Homo-oligomer: A and B are copies of this chain.
């Protein structure tokens, strides 16, 4: 392993390890780590540009330019998660306070384990075989009944497609509706993978700032819509802000989108990404999008509410009143197939179909939210109390999110910079973690706050 003041030669790649105490970058050449010392997190972007320029001497550059570029700006969440794994190796699991990844730390509810055992005991013939690409008919029927009840809209099994999680749903939908250069609006702060999902299929990302307290600003969205706008993505409860949009706000958004669709002579689809819909606090409920706007598609997964993100199971529902419905539904089913998903994992379809309305205990996350808000509030951090999901999105003391994340990291507290969500100046804390992590982080949060505020 080399250490030095210059950038390593021939770096082709990816890795970085901001070490505790001082910042140490690592990059990988043909399986060998090369390290680079720096005192500043901002150097990362310089290293990354360098890596993109410099290739293994004499070698062919074979990977797509788009992919090289995407790797450079690839997920901050994953970067911090990977950094966390390395820090844990070095300092021991108990001395690292990792709030980087939305990986629920609660086990799935007993009902899930019970159903899974039932289906594996039974060994039903054809259970693991191909089924229609949109999913098992009986599974789609059960989901449709649930959606009809909870969304107060009549949804038939034919309106449902079982998917490889909400990410799979979003990709199938975007591939279906996007012509090259079509625009999709996202509301910052937002889950940055949307950028990749949109550009995967030739679309362009239009970033629109949220309003006061990260509420939806219908005015900002309206201003951003033009004749190339094909869709708006919303996510409530929101990752990373924890904000839940009100009935009134969704009504306003729907009216505006109806009007703009008429004006532009083309439907603006509303894609509602709802994996956190059941994770809400203080008696709040999340308004139905599908009941309010005709050109809507809702999509969700069981990753968060059943704590099974590794299983990649979710569904989407297309509003039966949507424009160009037949092509839309036929296109989504085909795109789900040709993107290589083919169909959602068979056994998990069967298991989740029987678990409508079942979820992990929301008090589990509420207690964590309350305790973390108490800790951060006492120290002096500025934030809006989350109404749902399991994220907190405080202001970076001093204003620089990279500096804040770096200062916290020196205390072995791992968070994600707000620029990873299109919103510099903030940082995200994923509090789906053990109480040990929350309690253990208090000192680090305080020390970093003092240090950052003193600057």
Taking Cβ atoms with an 8 Å cutoff, the residues of A that contact B are 12-14, 28-31, 55-56, 59-68, 70-71, 74-75, 78, 101, 103-104, 107-108, 113, 116-117, 120-121, 123, 125-131, 133, 158, 164-165, 167-172, 175-179, 182, 193, 196-197, 200-201, 230, 261, 265-267, 269, 295, 307-313, 320, 322-328, 330-331, 334-335, 337-348
Contact B167 A342 (CB under 8 A): yes
Most chain B C-beta atoms within 10 Å of own C-beta, residue among A130, A178, A193, A267 = A130
Let me know if A340 and B167 touch, CB within 8 A: yes
Expressed in whole angstroms, the Cα–Cα distance for A327 and B29 within the complex equals 10
Taken together as a complex, chains A and B put the C-alpha atoms of A62 and B168 apart, in Å, by: 20
Give A158's nearest chain B residue, CB to CB: B31
9 new A-B contacts at CB < 8 Å, known A127-B310, A345-B348: A31-B320, A55-B324, A60-B266, A61-B327, A62-B177, A63-B177, A64-B201, A171-B340, A312-B344
**In the complex the two chains form, what is the Cα distance from A155 to B428 in whole Å?**
38
In the bound complex, how far is the Cα of B315 from the Cα of A419, in angstroms?
33
CA distance A61 to B307 in the complex (A): 39
Q: Which residues of B contact A70 (CB under 8 A)?
A: 334, 338
Contact indicator A71/B327 (Cβ below 8 Å): yes
Q: Which residue of the partner chain, among B125, B167, B326, contacts A12 with CB atoms under 8 Å?
A: B326
User: Which of B12, B121, B334 is within 8 Å of A324, CB to CB?
Assistant: B12
Whether B197 pairs with A340 at a CB distance below 8 angstroms is: yes
A334 to B269, CA, bound (A): 28
Which of A30, A71, A131, A171 has the most B CB atoms < 10 Å from its CB?
A71
Chain A to chain B contacts (Cβ below 8 Å), 25 pairs: A13-B330, A28-B326, A30-B325, A30-B326, A31-B158, A55-B324, A59-B324, A60-B267, A60-B323, A63-B176, A63-B327, A63-B331, A64-B177, A68-B327, A75-B337, A101-B130, A113-B120, A120-B120, A167-B341, A167-B342, A170-B340, A175-B200, A197-B340, A311-B345, A313-B345
Q: CA A75 – CA B310 in complex, angstroms?
A: 30
Given contacts A71-B331, A177-B64, contact A168 B55 (CB under 8 A): no
Q: Nearest CB to that of A102 among chain B residues?
A: B130
Contacts of A62 in B (CB 8 A): 177, 230, 266-267, 269, 295, 322-324, 327-328
Bound together, the chains give a CA A123 to CA B120 distance in angstroms of 13
Q: How far is the CA of A165 from the CA of B215 in the complex (A)?
A: 40
Known: A31-B158, A128-B311, A312-B341. A64 touches B324 (CB 8 A): no
Bound state CA distance, A327 and B328, in angstroms?
Answer: 36
B63 close to A324 (CB less than 8 A): yes
Instruction: Report the separation of the CA atoms of residues A169 and B348 in the bound assembly, to the nearest whole angstrom.
Output: 21
CA gap between A324 and B108 in the complex, in Å: 41
Q: Which 9 pairs, one residue from A and one from B, show the smallest C-beta to C-beta distance?
A: A310-B346, A196-B338, A167-B340, A171-B340, A128-B308, A13-B326, A63-B327, A62-B324, A67-B331
Residues of B within 8 Å of A269, CB to CB, are 62
A82 to B: closest C-beta gap in Å: 8
Chain B residue with Cβ nearest A338: B196
